Amino acid sequence: MTEPYKAAVLGGGSFGTALCNMLAENGHHAKLWLRDAQRAEEINTEHRNSRYLPDLQLHANVQATISLAEAVDGVDVVLVAVPSYSCREVAEQLSKLLPVTTYIISTTKGTEQTRFNLMSSVLLDILPNNPLAVLSGPNLAKEIVAKQLTGTVIASDNAQLIHFAQQLLQNKYFKVYGNSDRFGVELGGTLKNIYAIVSGMAAAMNMGDNTRALLMTRSLAEMSRFAVKLGANPLTFLGLAGVGDLIVTCSSPLSRNYQVGFAVGSGKSLEETTRELGQVAEGVNTLKLVKEKAVELDVYMPLATGLYRILFEGGQVSEVIMQLMQNPHQDDVEFITAEN
């Protein structure tokens, strides 16, 4: 056990709650910031977050607060787990509260609402002097709190921060791997949400395992093709933050993006699905921005383009799948080392 650190987790959703609980179990001083006073009171008195993780008995040392200033006072690290649409607002508040020595770890997978801007870019815009890392991987909150064996990736160009995060988070069921390709790791966690929607549709339509394997592997090809165009390392997508996260998100009914795809594949409209879920899944907004960026960069992305037609232009799933089978693109593995 390393020395206990002081940490604040911003965001009282399922993943933020799971992270804060794990930090407390690891022996650190953990505070959870959220906006809902009633839920904060429930966490502090009943040690439960009944909205997001109703079956979890939180560690007694988890403390919740609705005061951001109180949450981050004197902490060594801030883990940002707020929804993408509120990241900029929260970062602006943090800029008035944090010294530049405080580590920041972004865990939110998504883009800003109106432009293709990842969360690390938002945080760097507003907190340029704080050491920054990104946490991403196949990390379903309900499995983490159940202590299922889980791996994740901490990515930063700051080796000291990577080492710190490994000490902070790692335990007997949660393994933390390091990566210096922060952009690629974050991009993998963002892009896979698009393809989880595709996979949910395929499941709803009772497509076979061969078809779903085809869709997942071509999804990985699209993700890496797009990422390389933006400067990421294609090998990053062979790791937990790439293919690992893609597999779990495309296979698990616990994924909100998968749920969107399943509902649409079952005949529901996107609007009806969004109402039932209570919020827009990250993949829906990401899809719009990625489709625009792919056109701008001239990146071939038939699955993302096809999904866009289905969700926003009235296209049929079967038609999009058939177009994938008939497209002229023939190469299986695109980023392969040529023999000398």
Which among 163, 158, 167, 169 is positioned nearest to 3, based on CA atoms?
A: 167
What is the amino acid identity at position 302? P
Assess contact for 4 and 24: CB atoms under 8 A.
Answer: no
- Cα separation, 103 vs 89, in Å, equals 18
Assess contact for 35 and 89: CB atoms under 8 A.
Answer: no
- Cα separation, 191 vs 197, in Å, equals 11
Residue 88 CA, chain-centre distance (Å), reads 16
Which among 78, 73, 71, 123 is positioned nearest to 104, based on CA atoms?
A: 78
* Region label for 27, one of left (φ > 0), alpha (ψ between -120 and 50) or beta (otherwise): left
Whose structure tokens read 């946490």?
135
Which among 108, 101, 113, 118 is positioned nearest to 79, based on CA atoms?
A: 108
In the set 192, 268, 288, 293, the catalytic residue is 192
> What three-state secondary structure class fits 152?
strand
**Residue 192 is among the residues annotated as catalytic for this protein:** yes
Assess contact for 29 and 59: CB atoms under 8 A.
Answer: no
Paired residues of 204 in beta bridges: none
Active site members? 192
